[in-house]
Amino acid sequence: MKRVRTGTLVIVRDRMQRGYRYRLAAPAGCQFNPRFKPELSPKEMLALGIFGGVYLRDCRKEFPESWFARARLQKDGVKTHDPTLNYFGVNASQPLSVWRAKGWIADCDPRGWFQWYCRYYMGRRIPAEDARQIKRWIAMRRHVAQIRNNCDRGDFDCRRVQRQALLHWAYDSRKL
């Protein structure tokens, strides 16, 4: 991956955000909060198949091109997600309108947690928002416990929706 310098100003120009700016405060993939230990990078998540292939299609200029080389994405112009593009072949998403209604969306990241994670991975730091999103990520561990308690290791037909949801949160549920 091409290294972007700490201190670089990123100006966002996509369908959901125009003129939003942030500075990279850490090297890409480094200096994470010690409580935050994702098992998958954004590049790995996109290649596995997440969010039915509709996520970040118009954000290629903001993130490294290499993230999209093997990404399982819907064709441009297709607005609906396709669960068959997800690693486990199931829908494990709620509409953005539900996320907004539940207060899960911050103005800085109008696409939600995965957008936050991509920007955090690249080196953006917003202490209060980072703490909120890391707390949400930690809460997903309950799904890891449910799979471990109810499924045989490697039985990918057991709790496929939960396994897919965990992939959406950078937990590698293929290892459970």
Each residue's pLDDT expressed in tens, for the chain with a length of 176 residues: 456 677 899 999 998 998 899 999 999 999 999 999 999 999 999 999 999 988 888 888 999 999 999 999 998 777 788 999 999 999 998 888 898 999 889 999 999 999 999 999 999 999 999 999 999 999 999 999 999 999 999 999 999 999 999 999 999 999 99
Please tell me the chain's helix, strand, coil percentages from 3-state DSSP, rounded to the nearest 5. 40, 10, 55
- Determine, yes or no, domain membership for 27: yes
Structural domain boundaries enclosing 96? 9-175
Is the residue at 16 inside a domain? yes
- In the structure encoding, which two tokens stand for residue 74, read together? 């819907």
Is residue 24 included in any domain, yes or no? yes
Residues written for the chain:
176
* Residue 2, domain member (yes or no): no
Give domain status of residue 1, yes or no. no
Alpha-carbon span 165 to 154, nearest angstrom: 16
Q: pTM of the full predicted structure?
A: 0.93
112 located within any domain: yes
- How many domains in the chain? 1
Give the contacts of 107 (CB within 8 A, at least 6 positions apart).
none
What's the CA gap between 126 and 13, in Å, rounded? 20
**Does any domain span residue 107?**
yes
3 located within any domain? no
